[in-house]
Amino acid sequence: MIGRLAGLAGVVFASGSLFAQAPSEPSDASEFQTYFQLLRSDVSATKIRTINEVMKLTGPEAEKFWPVYRKYEKELTAVAERKLALIREFAPLHFSGRLDDQQAAKLAARWLKNTQERLDLWKKYHKQISKAVSPIRAAQFLQVEHQMALFIDLNIAAEMPALGTIKPAQK
């Protein structure tokens, strides 16, 4: 598992910094989309390989697991898209110095809601996989998902500019 994550780290870091441009020139929205599509594609492939290696599903287990997993991934993609929208909204406000207290509070509330959505999704699919396959397989699924999510979140956090590094615009 660690080897897979290390390999994924190379892909993410090789793809360049999300906020590599000067603070006065925020990244274009299409750059965000491209970055996250690349990351999502690589993560998806790595997750499938890792799930196969960690879970070692039997034929009958795989027949039950993968249809549930595909539904999960579809819902997870929607949650990830909402996170991407938050980043797209935050970046121009931050880099232009227009991020005010009210906007920061709204963005923080939406970020927390997005985090809760992911947790709720894990709970939902843990239950479904437990019923479809077994509680052990469901726990393995959660372990892989959690480790991947931590890795992705760490990479996003490393790329995000620190709040307060750009002075708010004068009104």
pLDDT at 141: 95
In contact, 102 and 125? CB cutoff 8 Å: no
For the full predicted model, state whether its pTM sits above 0.85.
no
Amino acid identity of residue 40, one-letter, is R
In the numeric block, which tokens belong to residue 101?
Answer: 């207290």
In the numeric block, which tokens belong to residue 122?
Answer: 């894990």
How far the first Cα of the chain sits from its last, in Å, is 51
In contact, 113 and 82? CB cutoff 8 Å: no
pLDDT at 13: 41
pLDDT in tens, the chain (171 residues): 545 544 444 444 444 444 444 344 445 556 666 766 777 777 788 888 989 999 999 999 999 999 999 999 999 999 999 998 898 888 888 888 888 889 989 999 999 999 999 999 999 999 999 999 999 999 999 999 999 899 888 988 888 877 766 665 555
pLDDT at 33: 66
User: Alpha-carbon distance 83 to 159, whole Å?
Assistant: 14
